[in-house]
Every structure is written in structure tokens, then in C-alpha cells.
Chain A
């Protein structure tokens, strides 16, 4: 067992983990943060996407011990004071999900994409979400959601 200290969604944790524990396993089984899901065995689907020190990673492809001393944000840490994050709200309002399984990862990756590029074109949105698969929506409304979130975030930035 190896001791790790990680901050997850703003809370500090100190835990003993087996070195082979995947970050996603630690989040779900160790911390009960089941908002982050596992959709594949090959690191292709992106459903498990979280932020590690502010950038997106596939948490099925990172060991918990590699996160020692670092900060993780999951889908459960996006909302503030019960208020949905603008990207979450845009997914809700534009019907960017059907079964919802891909949604946590999609939203986390969309946040990363908008941090890198506040005003992405449709093509840039599709490429930025290349590592996130959706079996239901055909992606159309996901792209719309990211476009709406980009607008909301930029008017928020102007307003503040």
C-alpha cells in the first residue's frame, strides 16, 4: 500500500491505496464519487474524463498514486453552491444527452476545450471532443451545447 494525498473537488484526502489502483477506481470506490463513470476497457471512450491540476485526463488511464500531491476535479465538483456550471446548464438546455452515460466526461472535456479556446469553431469543438464517444446523440446537440456554453461564459466574463 502507498499513502497518497490528493485534493478532490476542493476537499483534501489522505488514503492508503494499492499502487495498481486506477484513479477512476479510487474516485468511485474509495471516495464514492460515482459521477465519474467507466465506459470502456481501452481508454478510448472518455467517459471517465476528469481534470488533474486543471487539465483533462482519462482517469481510467492514470494511477491513483500518480495523482499524489495533485488536485482532481470531477463532474461532482463543477457546480458551485447548487448552481450548475454554464457548461452543465448548456448541456441540459440544448438536450445534449440521451442516456447520459457519456455526459460527465463530455462536460469535463468541453470545459477543458473552452479553457484552451474560448471561441471554438464547430470543427474545433468536434476535434476537441475527439476522445469522447457518444452512442446516442450523434453529437449534434453536444456541439450546440458547447457553442452555447462558449457564449454564456464569454458574456459572464464581460459582465464580471
Chain B
């Protein structure tokens, strides 16, 4: 099937894109890589009057360094993130998680910003962004910008802090240089969305865990950060036994879905197993 008719604009700056959003109001829909939006339009689940393509705005592309932060333009593709040495060096967790998204063709088009704003609870980009303490820069009308912590960014299923008339422009990630990282994605067939995913990154000191960050995919309506587990891991040896007990309560307080791939209790069990695996792998054990 093909999308319903729409008008198309392709602004070349953030200012023009925000102005186009203001002009067209709730008739407008922003197009990033299109890897979620185009299937939605083709199935006619949405039929915007105007599509605003962000693909011709150079300032939204690429990875740069700003002191102790990495700055990723919202329109940076998955493939560009995977090719970025700066991301591998300073935010390895993001690299590991993105390597599991979809397939090479979709990774050539899909963008980090599109994934975050789409906010599918089974999407693989939210949990690492949350675990790494990312900040999201949002542009609004009249040249205004605001910065939202990842913790406040994800509001509900497919709902984020990006309001009507606003654009996500940058993802700022505090550098985690030298931290080990692993994304443990559980699927039953290849090329599947996460049934559960766990993003873990660890700073090790002489065989024990000095600091840990853990994010969970598809364990609720938004990505979740497992702060109690992060604290319980501090000072632990990176052994199966020690990590197993530190992560045992990771599913407490989560509210995962029940569907054909598994019920909520199964997902809670998975989360404990996958967290142990992810933390041990991130610690190099």
C-alpha cells in the first residue's frame, strides 16, 4: 500500500524546519529516516497533510565532541554511529545496542533522533541513552531551545517530551571513556524486536566493579533505568555469583507487557538473566 496524499517540504535549516512546523500545526509530521514513519503512512495509520523532511539539514548530522560530552545530531544514521570512532571510544554502549537494531538496510536510513522520538518501548536506543545519562536538546518556535534529561524525556508508549511544534536536534552523552559495555537483546528469531533487552556499561577497577549503569528495554511503557541494581553492583567482584545476587531484584517495580512472545512474569525472569549476562560481559568477565 502507498501513503495517502501529502504535501512535502524539505527545509535546509533547523530554523526553517521549526517555522514549517509552526505554519502547518497538527497537519504536519516530521520525517527523519522514515524507517518507522513510512510503514505507518503506508498502512494509513496516520495521514498527515504535510511531511517535513529533515534529511536536507546538515546541522542535524554527525557526531562531534564537546569537552566531556559527545554530541550526536538527531539525523545521524545508525550506520554513521556504528562507524564513529568517538562513539566506540566514549559511548560504547550505544554502539553495542545500535548494532542489534533491525538490519543493515534499515541501519543505513534510520536515525538516532527518529528512534528516540518514536519511543517504541521495544526499541533498542532508549535504554542505552537512559543508562548513559543522555541529555536531549529540543528546538522550539522562535529559536528557543531546551535540554531535557533522558530520565524525563520518555513519558509513555510512543510519547516523549518533544511537544507539538518542536524538534529533537541533539543527543548529548557524557563521555564514558574506558567503560566496558554490552547490550543483551533477547529474540527468538533473527531480525526481531527485543522481547527484552538489557543495556549495561561498567567501569572496572582491578577485577571489581567501580561503577555500573543499567537500562532495560521493553520492561514497561518506556525504557527504564535500574538504579538500585547499579548501586548494588558497586564494589562487587565481576564473578557470576556476586553479579547474580546484585541483579536479582532488577525486575522489581517494572511493568512489562504480556503478548505472544511471553507474559510479564517470563519477561521479569528474562530481565534478571539478561542483566547478569550483560553486566558480566560489560565487565569483561
Contacts of B103 in A (CB 8 A): 46, 130-132
Does B257 interact with chain A (Cβ within 8 Å)? no
- Complex CA gap A4/B168 in Å reads 28
Q: Does any Cβ of B come within 8 Å of A155's Cβ? A: no
Residues A16-60 near B (CB distance < 8 A): 18-22, 25, 41-44, 46, 49, 52, 55-58, 60
Interface centre among B35, B42, B103 (most CB of A within 10 A): B103
CB distance from A87 to the nearest CB of B (A): 15
- Chain B residue numbers with a CB within 8 Å of A55 are 79, 108
Cβ contact within 8 Å between A131 and B102: yes
* Distance from A103 Cβ to chain B, minimum over Cβ atoms (Å): 16
Is B109 a contact partner of A19 (Cβ separation < 8 A)? no
Q: Are A41 and B34 in contact (CB under 8 A)?
A: no
CA distance A72 to B190 in the complex (A): 28
Closest CB in chain A relative to B258 CB, distance in Å: 23
- Chain A neighbourhood of B2, CB < 8 A: 20-22, 25
CB 8 Å contact bits of B243-268 with A (1 = contact, 0 = none): 00000000000000000000000000
Closest to B38 in A: A61
The complex places the Cα of A127 from the Cα of B101 at a distance, in Å, of 12
**Distance (Å) between the CB of A4 and the closest chain B CB?**
10
Residues on A with C-beta less than 8 A from B102 are 131
Q: Is B191 at the interface (CB under 8 A from chain A)?
A: yes
Shortest distance in angstroms between A115's beta carbon and chain B's nearest beta carbon? 11
Q: Which of A41, A57, A62, A65 contacts B8 (CB 8 A)?
A: A65
> For the complex, is B158 an interface residue (Cβ under 8 Å from A)?
no
Q: Is A154 an interface residue (CB 8 A)?
A: no
Known: A21-B2, A22-B2. A57 touches B105 (CB 8 A): yes
Interface of A is mostly: mixed
B104 with A109: CB separation less than 8 A: yes
Asked if B1 and A41 sit within 8 Å, CB to CB, the answer is yes
CB pair A61 B106 closer than 8 Å: yes
Q: Which residue of A lies closest to B77 (CB)?
A: A55
| Residues on A with beta carbons closer than 8 Å to the beta carbon of B55 | 66
Across-interface contacts of A127 in B (CB, < 8 A) = 190
Supposing A55-B108, A131-B105 touch, asked if A61 and B6 sit within 8 A by C-beta, the answer is: no
**B284: CB under 8 A from chain A?**
no
For A57-75 the 0/1 string (1 means CB < 8 A from B) is: 1101111011000000000
Q: Which A residues are in CB contact (< 8 Å) with B43?
A: 41
Contact among B3, B51, B108, B191 for A57, CB-based, below 8 A: B108
Report if B4 contacts A (CB, 8 A). yes
The 7 closest A-B pairs by CB, nearest first: A131-B103, A19-B8, A20-B3, A130-B103, A55-B108, A58-B105, A130-B191
